[in-house]
């Protein structure tokens, strides 16, 4: 398949965005990875994004927005060790408007390298909880991106209609090295196995009926 044009993929190092990247590579996109530090406790996800980018043979730009911790500390357990990390969804897991910040910078990056597409890994299992993972949000944001840049930039979340377990099935077909991905909100040597993200990861592998190669602490 030929190259379709420059395309940026938001690569967090988790399994959803890694599968988006493998899927996009297969579509023939001329892919560039983009990853962020934003004051998250689980900052080692960025190293995992790098491992995935290397495996896939694409570049990865890492933008350090760690100063955002000044905003997110006190608000979200993902950026503040003093806020309880819950095993199921709770309000403080939300990093407010995070995906909009990520998409804004991605659109700026797209303009800077003449890319016309930005991909991110929003999926339907997160939609009920995370408003910035919903199609209505990112399609409206896409409209703002076209208006704010005067460029025909599209924003797509190719898996926004499918569940995490389906992404795992698809990723398995695509050869995504799930053992190299990182989902945990903490920054331990292994996945904690207890935070919301680890819980969702475990559950999705189980639902998919696919062997979970993740080493969990428990």
Output the CA–CA distances (angstroms, integers) from residue 55 to 25, 34, 52, 116, 168, in the order listed: 12, 15, 5, 24, 18
Q: What are phi and psi of 62, to 5 degrees?
A: -110, 120
Does 136 interact with a copy of itself (rule: CB under 8 A)?
yes
What is the C-alpha separation between 28 and 142, in angstroms, rounded? 22
Does 107 interact with a copy of itself (rule: CB under 8 A)?
yes
Choose the binding region for a copy of itself from 20-28, 131-139, 165-173, 210-218 (rule: CB under 8 A): 131-139
Strand partners, 191: 216
Please say which residue, 132 or 196, places its beta carbon nearer to a copy of itself.
Answer: 132
Q: Which stretches of the chain are DSSP H helices?
A: 15-27, 45-56, 69-72, 98-113, 135-149, 164-174, 196-208
Please say which residue, 111 or 210, places its beta carbon nearer to a copy of itself.
Answer: 111
Among 87, 92, 131, 177, binds a copy of itself (CB under 8 A): 131
Nearest alpha-carbon partner for 183 in 134, 103, 123, 110:
123
Nearest distance from C-beta of residue 26 to a copy of itself, angstroms: 27
Provide the phi-psi class of 114: left if phi over 0, else alpha when psi is between -120 and 50, else beta. Answer: left
Nearest alpha-carbon partner for 200 in 95, 138, 127, 137:
127
Does 111 interact with a copy of itself (rule: CB under 8 A)?
yes
Does 87 interact with a copy of itself (rule: CB under 8 A)?
no
Choose the binding region for a copy of itself from 91-99, 158-166, 193-201, 210-218 (rule: CB under 8 A): 91-99
Contact 218, 193 (CB under 8 A): yes
Binding mask 145-174 for a copy of itself (x = CB under 8 A): x-xxxx------------------------
Does 101 interact with a copy of itself (rule: CB under 8 A)?
yes
Nearest distance from C-beta of residue 44 to a copy of itself, angstroms: 18
Residues 8-67 that bind a copy of itself (CB under 8 A): 61, 63-65, 67
Residues of this chain that bind a copy of itself (CB under 8 A): 61, 63-65, 67-68, 70-72, 74-75, 95-101, 103-105, 107-109, 111-112, 131-132, 134, 136-137, 140-141, 143-145, 147-150
């Amino acid at each position: 398949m030929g190259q379709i044009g420059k395309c940026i993929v938001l690569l967090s190092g988790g399994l959803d965005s890694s599968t988006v990247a493998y899927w996009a590579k297969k579509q023939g996109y001329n892919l560039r990875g983009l990853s962020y530090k934003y004051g998250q406790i689980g900052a080692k996800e960025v190293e995992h994004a790098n491992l995935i980018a290397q495996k896939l043979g694409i570049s990865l730009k890492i933008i350090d927005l760690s100063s955002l911790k000044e905003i997110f500390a006190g608000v979200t357990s993902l950026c503040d060790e003093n806020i309880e990390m819950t095993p199921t969804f709770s309000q403080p897991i939300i990093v407010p408007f995070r995906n909009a910040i990520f998409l804004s910078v991605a659109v700026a990056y797209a303009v800077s390298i003449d890319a016309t597409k930005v991909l991110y890994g929003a999926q339907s299992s997160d939609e009920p909880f995370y408003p910035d993972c919903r199609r209505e949000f990112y399609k409206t944001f896409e409209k703002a991106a076209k208006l704010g840049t005067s460029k025909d930039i599209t924003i797509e979340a190719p898996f926004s209609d499918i569940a995490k377990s389906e992404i795992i099935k698809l990723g398995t077909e695509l050869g995504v090295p799930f053992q190299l991905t990182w989902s945990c909100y903490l920054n331990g040597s292994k996945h904690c196995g207890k935070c919301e993200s680890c819980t969702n990861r475990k559950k999705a592998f189980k639902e998919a009926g696919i062997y979970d190669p993740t080493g969990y602490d428990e």
